Amino acid sequence: MKRFLFLMVLLTVLLCGFSCSEDRTNDIDPGNENPVPGNGDENPDPDNGDNTDPGDAILKHPRILLLAGEEEQVRELIAADNTWMKMHTAIIEECEAILKEPELKRVMVGKRLLDTSREFLRRVFFLAYGHRLTGDNRFLEKADQEMLAVSDFSDWNPSHYLDVAEMTLGAAIGYDWLYNSLSPSSRRKIRQAIVGKGINPSKEGNNWWLSAYTNWNQVCNTGMAFGAMAVMEDYPELANEIIDRAFQALKLPMSVYQPDGVYPEGYGYWHYGTTFNVLFLSAAEKLLGDDRGLSREPGFMETADFVKHMITPTRISFNWGDNQPSANLSVAMFWFAEKLKDPSVLWSEKPFLQRDNFSRYKKIRELPAIMIWAKNIPLASITKPTDNCFFGQGQSPVAMMRSAWDDPNAIFLGFKAGSPSAPHGHMDVGSFVMEADGVRWAGDPGTQDYNSLESLGMDIWKYDQGSDRWKVLMLNNYSHNVLTIDGKLQQVGGHAKIDRFSNKEAFKYAISDLTSVYDKAMKSVVRGAALKDNQYVVIRDEFETLNKETTLRWALYTDATIELGTTSATLTSGDKQLTIKVEGPEGLTMKSWEWDELRNSYDKENPGKAMVGFEYSAPANYKGSFEVLLIPRDAVNSARFTGSNLAEW
């Protein structure tokens, strides 16, 4: 805190010292048509001979994330542990590969420049790290070339500000980390771009994300704050404003982790929003000596436990919403482990570090940060978790249960409540994911490429009940492991929480009242999901119809081969089998639906995927239940229906 107060005083001194100096409007990027007055552009340019260095180390470059002289700490880490030697080597090898790439061009994909921005961030972060750790001037020259190239872009696409944020972050890291080796003309041009193309547009009406509770806030504020930190001695007033703005705005998305650490947008977007969030916290703490208590926001540090549970025995993720099932090494988790002084949260990351080939991580654009955050974490102290369950409330409540942490054939059950209206949400309320014997038997379809839908004129970013979003098969309930009532969509305005749960070893379960997402279609719907004796899974639905005959469809999504029985189905994947057994009222009909039967012309092809389950026509004002057992081969003879209703669980 003292360092932060010192910096604010220092910035004030800089402001006073420069307020009467020569005009500096030429240091505003010419590509920015409407420079914002009063943003520090009146300050003299140090490259013109003005002495703006206050003499304190806090304003010397490099000062973002990895301070001047801290390279030696990274070298010690590399020398002490072969894992980090392999990671360092992978980064340097990728720097060599980047040298052969042509410089980036301003290529739009639909309304986005994001692919280019992300590749720019990756290249510059890797190259700047490579130069600082090896002194290889080829990496410096290539980073300089890339930064000058994007500085010449007409703009960084402020209509889609994630593009600007990632570009600014990359430019800020390159400018700061390589500052002492860049020519005065390069510094000036890159600095102009950071301010004119990066920061200034965020003051001109392109900043709706300042009040957002989503990854947009985290990504955009981090990018702008890094830009401000990079140029703060030249633009002290602007830097103070932008950094303070980030501190205030980030409280909004950081509030969504409460109470238990669940990130509403799911695993993939957790990686995006949270990684940028901790980049800001880490940089702020390094530079200012304090994060103003942001890391102590309720639920935020608990999110490390959430993500630890999100990676399943098959080494993919429990995905929902606009997330694919893939999983990858999380750089941010090493920040949490260091901050918590708890290496055990890295249990699910440990297998990623035990692979022989680290080049698979070369597309993680923030990867060099892991070499900063891992230096105080002894990998040998990453111990197996003792908690086989996670239950979390919030915008997207979830329950996760497993039979073991150290068995790739363990049973995993993930159960989701929440609302379709959550950021990047789908109509998947009440859905579940199930694995056993190294196979994901009941999965989630993931999402469809945004541009493939936007290019057809579909507006998938409105969440009202009649939105185009809900016409998309991968986004609506027809492709999820839920009940569908009379072929209707789930209700966007509904929200379900985890009402009851248990972590007892013999019967782990979670129960959610789903009635609100079936409003006007059912009188009540309650679902329970359980892991019985660590051997098989139970899904139980209890429901009551309204004053009309109602057709209920129970289905799960799978890529296994399906064989239907009278009240059962057998799923086969390679030499593995799962048996589905159904207990319910007479008259239910087992069915399967191939993906092509369900899709429209705008839906992506999804070969080999299908839904399996049953349909039942329930009478008016009828109270009933379904109980479905998902039984791995080894438990076929021992699995039993519970013989109890949810109130008795």
* 41 domain-assigned: no
**Which residue, of 363, 381, 399, is where some domain finishes?**
381
Q: Do 397 and 347 reside in the same domain of the chain?
A: no
Residue 25 lies in a domain: no
pLDDT at 17 over 90: no
Q: Read off the pLDDT band of 59 (50, 70, 90).
A: confident
Exposure class string for 69-108: b at 16+ Cβ within 10 A, else e = eebeebeebbeebebbebbbebbbebbeebbeeeebeeee
pLDDT interval class at 495 (50, 70, 90): very high
Domain count, the chain: 2
Q: Which residues contact 48 (CB under 8 A, 6 or more apart)?
A: none
Q: Is residue 29 part of a domain?
A: no
Is residue 288 domain-shared with residue 393, that is, in the same domain?
no
Q: What is the mean pLDDT of residues 382-400?
A: 97
pTM (predicted TM-score): 0.92
Residue 52 belongs to a domain: no
Q: What is the pLDDT of residue 16?
A: 41
Backbone angles phi, psi at 646, to 5 degrees: -65, -30
Is the pLDDT reported for residue 34 higher than 60?
no
Residue 347 and residue 420 share a domain: no
In the Cβ-directed half-sphere of 109, how many Cα atoms lie within 13 Å?
A: 12
**Bigger pLDDT: 286 vs 26:** 286
Q: Is 589 helix (H, G, I), strand (E, B) or coil?
A: strand
Kindly indicate the confidence band of residue 21, based on its pLDDT and cuts at 50, 70 and 90.
Answer: very low
CATH code assigned at 285? 1.50.10.100
Region 493-515: mean pLDDT is: 98
**Summary mean pLDDT of the chain:** 93
| 430 and 338 within one domain | no
Whether 269 and 362 map to the same domain: the answer is yes
Same domain, 415 and 364: no
What pLDDT sits at residue 483?
A: 99
Q: What is the pLDDT of residue 42?
A: 31
- Tell me the β-bridge partners of 513: 526
Q: For residue 51, is pLDDT > 60?
A: no
- For residue 1, pLDDT beyond 70: no
The torsion angle over the Cα atoms of residues 444, 449, 450 and 452, rounded to 10 degrees, is: -130
Asked, for residue 30, whether it belongs to a domain, the answer is no
- Note whether 313 and 183 are same-domain residues: yes
Please calculate the CA angle 59-65-67 and round it to the nearest 5 degrees.
Answer: 50
For residues 554 and 430, state if they share a domain.
yes
Q: Does any domain span residue 406? A: yes
**Statement to judge: residues 145 and 182 lie in one domain:** yes
Domain containing 545 — which CATH number?
2.70.98.70
Query: For 90, how many CA atoms within 13 A lie in the half-sphere containing its CB?
Result: 22
Per-residue pLDDT, averaged over 403-430, amounts to: 98
Q: Indicate whether 570 pLDDT > 70.
A: yes
Same domain, 411 and 549: yes
Residues 338 and 371 occupy one common structural domain? yes
Which of 341 and 49 is assigned the larger pLDDT?
Answer: 341
Residue 208 in domain: yes
Kindly state the percentage of the chain with pLDDT values over 70: 91
Whether 37 is in a domain gets the answer: no
Distance in angstroms (rounded) separating the CA atoms of residues 208 and 213: 11
> What does the pLDDT look like over 204-246, one tens digit per residue?
888 999 999 999 999 999 999 999 999 999 999 999 999 999 9
Picking from 362, 381, 400, the residue at the C-terminal end of a domain is 381
Closest CA to 262 of 305, 230, 226: 305
Q: Which of 358, 381, 404 is the last residue of a domain?
A: 381
pLDDT of residue 11: 53
Domain range for residue 159? 2-19+68-381
Q: What is the pLDDT of residue 328?
A: 97
Task: Assess whether pLDDT exceeds 80 at residue 46.
Answer: no
pLDDT over 50 at 22, yes or no? no
The string of pLDDT tens digits covering residues 181-215 is 999 999 999 999 999 999 999 998 889 999 999 99
What contacts 223, CB < 8 A, 6 or more positions away?
164, 165, 166, 167, 168, 169, 172, 198, 276
Do both 436 and 488 map to the same domain?
yes
